[in-house]
Homo-oligomer: A and B are copies of this chain.
């Protein structure tokens, strides 16, 4: 009936995806408090900030300070993102971070044009420069991201063939510079995915690249993120980006109030109840999700943080 993995890897992206969307500035101290609570859950990777233009994303203005001040817990990777060489240099200079190289292309041409003002050819040429930048700095290129892999507000439905050709282009870019991509991260950037399209697209990418790990980056704008995650699990996907309490959204998604990424604690709950190991302590994670609400000062969309885990109920019954 399914091919569920025994273990999955979760990349916690809440501090980056979430805080960037907050309309008011979140104090650095509070950001660090959430990051440190997340580190106590057992999660392996936390994307803590992004080095982007502070005029565009005021809540990321003190990215260097967040990186410098985070108290690192051994065994946890603290990562960040950037959009260009300037951002990358800031991240390297900030120190105290785990620097990973990744590529990014969009399966939607219209999204690139709207987002960056570039043609697909210009976007691809830029990614060649990005690989060279990483190689020149001794940074391994591990992962490639496919934006808008399931649909696009500015282009509509994305055919599977467009996703496959985007993955082909990413593989070729890496290969041109002697790099081998270990992981393709399929992003439902604007929340168009359904369980059926997850199965169709993941199946097609796996068929063409059976030795490449597939990850999913899922948004919950239309309430299907957890169903899509389960569809991915059934296809053997064993790596997910997710966001504590469902923090976040997408600034390019074209509608205000869009829900954020799939909630980390809801995903961990789903896995725990399905016999899939995440390495994460769900009760600690629920605590971190509730802290996230206090830090941003408003309700967040996660469900298990409100409903509670079943383990807690089972323990109460057997006590």
Contact = CB atoms under 8 A, between A and B. Distances in A.
Interface of A: 1-2, 151, 153-157, 191-192, 194-197, 199, 220-224, 226-227, 229-231, 254-255, 257-259, 263, 266, 269-270, 273-275, 299, 302-304, 306-310, 313-314, 317-318
Contacts of A192: 310
A222 B304 contact: yes
Contact of A227 (B153, B221, B257, B270): B270
Given A156-B317, A194-B273, A313-B156, A223 B307 contact: yes
A205 to B, nearest CB: 16
Contacts of A222: 266, 269, 303-304, 307-310
Given A196-B274, A227-B226, A255 B307 contact: yes
B156 A307 contact: no
Contact of A310 (B151, B223, B274, B314): B151
Contacts of A227: 195, 226-227, 229-230, 270
A281 B197 CA distance: 22
**The 8 residue pairs across chains A and B that have the minimum distance between CB atoms:** A223-B303, A221-B307, A227-B227, A223-B266, A222-B307, A194-B273, A227-B230, A226-B227
28 contacts: A2-B196, A154-B317, A155-B317, A156-B313, A156-B317, A194-B270, A194-B273, A194-B274, A195-B274, A196-B273, A197-B273, A222-B266, A222-B269, A222-B303, A222-B309, A222-B310, A223-B263, A223-B266, A224-B226, A224-B266, A226-B226, A226-B227, A227-B227, A255-B308, A257-B306, A258-B307, A259-B306, A259-B307
Contacts of A2: 196
A313 B196 contact: no
A196 B3 CA distance: 12
Contacts of A194: 270, 273-274
Contacts of A258: 306-307
Nearest to A226: B227
A162 B310 CA distance: 19
A303 B259 contact: yes
A194 B155 CA distance: 34
Nearest to A196: B274
Contacts of A302: 223
A230 B231 CA distance: 9
